[in-house]
Each structure stands twice: as structure tokens, then as C-alpha cells.
Amino acid sequence: MVLIANVILWSIVGILALIVLYIVITFNSMIMLRNRVDNAWSQIDVQLKRRYDLIPNLVNTVKGYMKHERGTLTEITKMRSSLISGSMSQKSKASDAISNVLKTIFAVAENYPKLEASENFKMLQEELSGTESKIAFSRQFYNDNIMVLNNKIQQFPSNIIANMLSFKEREFFQTAEGEKKPVKVEF
Amino acid sequence: MNLYEHISLNKRKSILLITFFFIIIGFLGYAFGLYLGDAFIGLGFAIIFSTIMTLISFYSGDKLILGMSSAVLADRKKYPHLVNTVEGLAIAAGIPTPKIYVINDSAINAFATGRDPKHASVTVTTGAIQRLKRDELEGVIAHELAHVRNYDIRMMMFVVVLVGIIALLSDFFLRSMIYGRGGRRDMKGSGIIGIIIMLIGLVLAILAPLIAQLIKLAVNRQREFLADSDGALLSRNPDGLANALKKIKNDKEPLVEAANKATAHLFIENPLRNFKSRVNNLFSTHPDITERIKRLESL
């Protein structure tokens, strides 16, 4: 009798220990995933800031050539400031709008062979389109991480723990063009 | 299975594979030692030797490989597009930007090496930079970064070194049996068990290099397929890599001069293959290129 009681007692202790262990591991992995999402978020900011820094260079390089496009250049300079202020959705809207203006500028540049031939312009063009794809890639990375986190929060049995410890699902990053590709600047 | 689980599975698999190789090495050493007089000296020697070799390759194998391939660091000013592409895809993969190297060769090819994503490098031929379109180069780089992120680079480094050691030990063993002075009569435990161990050792010495080589190739082909699909996921564009592979397939000079048998398995497509003799079998380092293109196009 004592033996059976002992076995039962220890099995209960064992099962409880396993449950506690599972909760701890799940909790930690959710914390890790959440941090990863936050980190991915800040990656997007880094790229937006980079774009913010590049635009004045571009404007300075092209303004000597593009006499008729003064309006566009002032416009993009104004829009630029919204890349680093406001909420992320505002920033990303601004970023998408800037992509379109940049596309116009690069298309118009074809009419200025001297400008197109300038090393500085070529470099800026490459850097800006590189930054554009980096913005897209950082959004993609962010969404990938969101998906992992949300799966964990929704799937059984980790959803119980997520509920208990009030982990919230996050929203995917949406853009006008979808997640697939940035507008490619190619001539 | 999500990506992170996938990576930890890959790490566990590498440990398993390495353990398996070490057991073979240990057994070879043991049988060799038994033959020479002291089994445990043989065992100890084999284990210590292969551990040292593995550690060396772990910490400086990538430098060796880059040196052998005459790869030079890519200059940001000279290859802005390449650098931007690698940086962008590294962001998408969530790994630090690897070091970027260039091989001066007109063939289209690329490889990744290193011990983990923090100590990794991606190498591209100048042919790939010049002849691939933007999205094609992106596909190739994405494939390489998938190798980096999945820890394939580490696994292949270990596998190559251990396969080499197994070949070396077997060779030692067989040579000393053939050319040795008829073996020692005073070997320890030379009873029935001793003889059986010797026989197993002999068979192992003959088969182990072959088996190890086949495992290496099978693992490599598997990892190539995986990196193709992971890369496509990374660049969100399977056609990029598919088109790049098509270009390689139709290339008249696909051979990379600085590549050799020791480094061939690293490249995105076999740099030694003569496309006229399209034999694909157990002994290929890479899966059939047509099959790869087909799989990518079905994604």
C-alpha cells in the first residue's frame, strides 16, 4: 500500500514538474519571439532613416540639371521629413509615396544624359534603389516574425499559456504594393 | 515546422552525423591500434587527431577555402549593387551581413562558407555579377544566405573534414596491412574476438571511405534542394534563381578555374561539371540542375 501511494505521489509530482517546465519554456520562447519582432520593427526604421539621409544628396545632385522639375524636388524634400516622424503606418505611407516620386525623378533623368552619366548620380541611384529593397526586405522579415509569434499565440496548447500571461497577437505590416517587391528602378 | 525549428533540427542532425563519423573514426583507430599492438593508443590517436583537425577547420576552414579559391574582398564602391543585394537579403534572413568576396572568373557561380551566421562569407564570381540580371543575382545570393542561416556551411565544413580523415585513416590502415611486416603476432587480445575485430576493421577500412563519401554527397544534395526553396522564400521570387540556373545550364563555359574537388560541393552549381556528360547519380555533389529548375518553377 505504501509503495502504491508513493508511486502515485511521485507520478503526480512528475507530471506537475513537466507542466511547470513546459510553461517556463513556452513563456521564454514567447518573450524571445516578441523581442525578435521588436528588433525587426527597428530594422525598418533604420532603413527609413537611411532613405531620409540619402534624399538631400540626390536633390543636390540633380537640381543643377533638372530645371523644370523644381516642383518635384521641393515636394520630395518636404515629404522626406515624414520618414522619421509619426507612427509607423504614417512613415511607411510616406515611404511608399516617396518611392513613386523617386521613380518619376529617375525616369525624367533619362532626358539628361549628362546627369545620367555622372558617377555621383549612378551611385545615388544604386543606393536609393538598394535602400528601397532593404525597406521591403525589413518589412518582410518583420512579417515573418509576426507570423511565428502569432502562430505560437494561436496554436494549442501554447495558446492557453499565451492567454494566461496575456500575450497579444500583433498585426502584419501592410503596404499598398503588398509585400512582394518594391518598385524597381531599372533602365 | 517553422524556420527556427528547422534550424535547430539541422543543428541536431549535424551533431548526429558528426557523432556517427567519430564512431567510425574511433573504430578504425581502435582496429588499427589493435593491429599495431595497442588498441587504445590507436583509438586515442584517431580521436585526438580528428578532434584537432575538426577544430582547425571550424575556426579557419573558411579562410583556407577563400584562399584556395583566390577570392578577394568585394569593394563597396566597385560592386555597389552586389553589396546592396547581400545586405538587403541578410535583413530579410535576419542574419548579420556576411563578408562578401569576389572571384575573378567569367563563369557564373557562387558559394557560402563559415562556421555560423556571425562568421560567414558569401563569394560570387565576377561572371555572375556581370551576366546575371538583378533578380537572378538576388536569387543566387538568397540561396547562399539560406545555406548560411540554416547552418549548412558549418555542417558541410565538418562533414568534409571528417570524410577526409576517414579516407586518410583507412588508407593508413590498409597500406600498413598490405605493406606491413605481416602484422604483429604479439597483438593484444589476439583471440577469436581480436580476429573478429580485426576483420570488421578491415572491412570497415575498405567500406568506410566510400560510405562516408556517399553520405557527404547525399547530405550535400539534400541541402542544395533545401537552400533553393528557402532562398526562394527569402527573395519571394523563385523565378530569379530558376532563371540564373538556366543561364548556368546553358553556359558554354561553366567551369570555375579556381575550384577543385575539395571545394566543388560548396558552389551553387557544380563548378567542375562538364555539361556534355550529364551523368547524375550517387556520386554527384549537386542535384540535377534540370530537376532543381523544375522544382523552383513549381513553387
DSSP labels for A2-47? Answer: HHHHHHHHHHHHHHHHHHHHHHHHHHHHHHHHHHHHHHHHHHHHHH
Contact (CB, 8 A) for B98 and B148 = yes
Average pLDDT of the residues of chain B: 85
Please give the backbone phi and psi of residue A13, each rounded to the nearest 5 degrees, phi first: -60, -45
A137, A148, A181: residue with CB nearest B4: A148
Contact (CB, 8 A) for B198 and B57 = no
pLDDT band (50, 70, 90) for residue B2: low
Residues B30-51 have pLDDT tens digits of 888 888 878 888 888 889 999 9
Does the active-site annotation cover B144?
Answer: yes
pLDDT given at position A176: 54
How big is chain B, counted in residues?
299
A112 exposed, middle or buried (CB, 10 Å; 0-12, 13-18, 19+)?
middle
Between B289-297 and B192-235, two packed helices, what is the crossing angle to 10 degrees? 50
pLDDT given at position B282: 58
B4, B85, B94: residue with CB nearest A141: B94
Low-confidence winner among B69-83, B187-201, B216-230 (lowest mean pLDDT): B187-201
Sheet holding B110-116, edge to edge: B71-73, B99-103, B119-125, B110-116
pLDDT given at position A183: 42
pLDDT band (50, 70, 90) for residue B273: low
The yes-or-no verdict on residue A178 having pLDDT over 50 is no
Residues A93-131 have pLDDT tens digits of 888 888 888 888 888 888 888 888 888 888 898 999 999
Give the Cα separation of A184 and B135 in Å (integer).
10
What mean pLDDT comes out for the span A53-77? 84
What mean pLDDT comes out for the span A170-186? 56
Query: For residue B87, which residues of chain A lie inside 8 Å, CB to CB?
Result: 130, 134
What mean pLDDT comes out for the span B68-91? 93
Closest CA to B32 of B172, B161, B162, B212: B172
Contact B91 A141 (CB under 8 A): yes
The yes-or-no verdict on residue B216 having pLDDT over 80 is yes
Give the closest-approach CA distance of B137 to chain A in angstroms.
13
Residues B88-131 have pLDDT tens digits of 999 999 999 999 999 999 889 999 999 999 999 999 999 999 99
Give the closest-approach CA distance of B64 to chain A in angstroms.
31
Contact A141 B3 (CB under 8 A): no
Give the Cα separation of B138 and B241 in Å (integer).
8
CATH classification number, B66-153+220-297, choose in 3.40.50.1820, 3.30.450.40, 3.30.420.40, 3.30.2010.10: 3.30.2010.10
B81, B88, B134: residue with CB nearest A137: B88
* Residue among B5, B87, B138, B144 flagged as catalytic: B144
Give the closest-approach CA distance of A141 to chain B in angstroms.
5
* Residue among A46, A134, A179 with most chain B CBs within 10 A, to mutate: A134
Which residues, other chains included, contact A19 with Cβ-Cβ below 8 Å and sequence gap of 6+? none
Contact (CB, 8 A) for B270 and B285 = yes
Contact A126 B80 (CB under 8 A): yes
Q: Looking at the complex, does the CB of residue A32 fall below 8 Å from at least one CB of chain B? A: no
Name the more confident of A139 and A184. Answer: A139
* Triad B289, B292, B298: Cα angle to 5°: 145
SS3 at position A65: coil
Residues B253-264 have pLDDT tens digits of 777 777 877 788
Structure pTM? 0.83
Closest CA to B26 of B193, B162, B213: B162
pLDDT given at position A35: 92
The yes-or-no verdict on residue B211 having pLDDT over 90 is no
Distances in whole angstroms, Cα of residue B9 to Cα of each of A143, B5, B13, B116, B152:
23, 6, 6, 15, 12
Contact (CB, 8 A) for B228 and B298 = no
